[in-house]
């Protein structure tokens, strides 16, 4: 399991970035860190659930929809909403997602990074 955590005084709990593509995951994580946020990176939904089940406090889950493993991003969103209903979940994909996913937001790939960062900051500040 790949897990990188960076501390920052600007947020209380880290953002969990979940994507099976290392370069895409690292790009998003780096953008979030540039905002002064803590980030935990996971390559699969299973890894993300392991982090959450460990008791690690997380502010937000930002996950790709299509990933290998027992759950995709939509399955992860459902699992998070069942087990951690107060936690915000943002989905991202190059394809449209079906309605009723239970997520708190969606960003289409390729990202308009300034737009995504503004919205994520607003969600985390709420």
Q: What does the block give as tokens for 50?
A: 């392991």
**Residue range 100-118, pLDDT digits in tens:** 777 899 999 999 999 999 9
Structural domains counted in the chain: 1
**pLDDT value at residue 43:** 97
Instruction: Residue 16: give the domain boundaries.
Output: 5-125
The predicted-structure confidence for 10-48, as pLDDT tens digits, reads as follows 457 899 999 999 999 999 999 999 999 999 999 999 999
CA 64 and chain centroid, separation: 8
- CATH number, domain at 20? 3.40.50.2300
DSSP label at residue 98? P
- Prediction pTM value: 0.88
- Count CB atoms within 10 A of the CB of residue 33: 15
Q: Is 107 helix (H, G, I), strand (E, B) or coil?
A: strand
Task: Kindly tell me the sign of the dihedral angle through the C-alpha atoms of 117, 110, 38, 124.
Answer: positive
């Amino acid at each position: 399991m790949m897990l990188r955590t960076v501390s920052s005084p600007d947020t209380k709990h880290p953002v969990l970035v979940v994507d099976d593509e290392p370069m895409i995951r690292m790009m998003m994580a780096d953008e979030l860190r540039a905002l002064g946020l803590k980030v935990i990176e996971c390559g699969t939904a299973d890894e993300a659930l392991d982090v959450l089940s460990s008791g690690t406090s997380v502010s937000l889950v930002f996950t790709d929809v299509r990933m290998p493993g027992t759950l995709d991003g939509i399955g992860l969103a459902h699992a998070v909403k069942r087990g951690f209903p107060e936690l915000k979940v943002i989905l991202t994909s190059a394809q449209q997602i079906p309605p009723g996913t239970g997520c708190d937001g969606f960003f289409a790939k390729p990202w308009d990074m300034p737009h995504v960062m503004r919205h994520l900051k607003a969600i985390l500040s709420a």
